[in-house]
Amino acid sequence: GPADVEGFAARLAPLGLGCIDAPMSGGPARARDGSMSLMVACAAALWTAHEALLRQLASRLFRISARPGDGARTKLVNNLLGAVNLAAAAEAMVLAQRLGLDAVATLAVIEQSSGQSWVGVDRMARALAGDFAPRAHTTLLAKDSALALQ
């Protein structure tokens, strides 16, 4: 988490080394194909020296700040929102079914409307198709949510 990154940065500083805090978002498939996002927090000189390398790792770079730990903080905020979106999408689909709506048609509307979220649409479409294979570890979701709320 952010405290760990701050600790690494503090240990590196006396050695004259900087810390690039660059957590990724997108999961293993996007990491493999280079389409993940990186949330980068580092000193301007480190950004300048290593931006080209970071761009080879990810299709989207977000320069967050110069403060180590802010990349990790941004990822925690993003992951918490993803968890909330997923829970809300599941509840919305249950409501749609209780109202007698066609779940697939309702999801198609949500996908193109104000209720859209990538994680909600992706996971709900898989569930409606009968695919309940895990895509992420709930232990990570619980850990990240707890860290974000500290």
DSSP one-letter string for 15-61: GT----B--EESHHHHHHHT--EEEEE--HHHHHHHHHHHHHH-SEE
Q: Which CB contacts under 8 angstroms, 24+ apart, belong to 59-64?
A: 59/34, 59/35, 60/35, 60/36, 61/37, 62/37, 62/38, 64/39, 64/40
In eight-state DSSP terms, residue 129 is T
Q: What pLDDT is attached to residue 140?
A: 76
Dihedrals φ, ψ of 8, to 5°?
Answer: -60, -45
Question: Annotated catalytic, 75?
Answer: yes
Q: Model pTM?
A: 0.82
H and E: helices and strands count for the chain = 7, 3
Alpha-carbon distance of 78 to 113, in angstroms, equals: 21
Strand partners, 21: 41
* Catalytic residue chosen out of the listed positions 75, 96, 119, 147: 75
Q: What pLDDT is attached to residue 112?
A: 92
Q: What pLDDT is attached to residue 50?
A: 97
Alpha-carbon distance of 79 to 76, in angstroms, equals: 5
Q: What pLDDT is attached to residue 51?
A: 97
Alpha-carbon distance of 62 to 26, in angstroms, equals: 14
Burial of 79 (0-12, 13-18, 19+ CB in 10 A): buried
Q: What pLDDT is attached to residue 34?
A: 83
**Would you write out the chain's pLDDT as a tens digit for each of its 150 residues?**
899 999 999 999 999 999 999 999 988 888 888 889 999 999 999 999 999 999 999 999 999 999 999 999 999 999 899 889 989 999 999 999 999 999 999 999 999 999 888 888 888 888 888 988 887 777 777 777 777 777
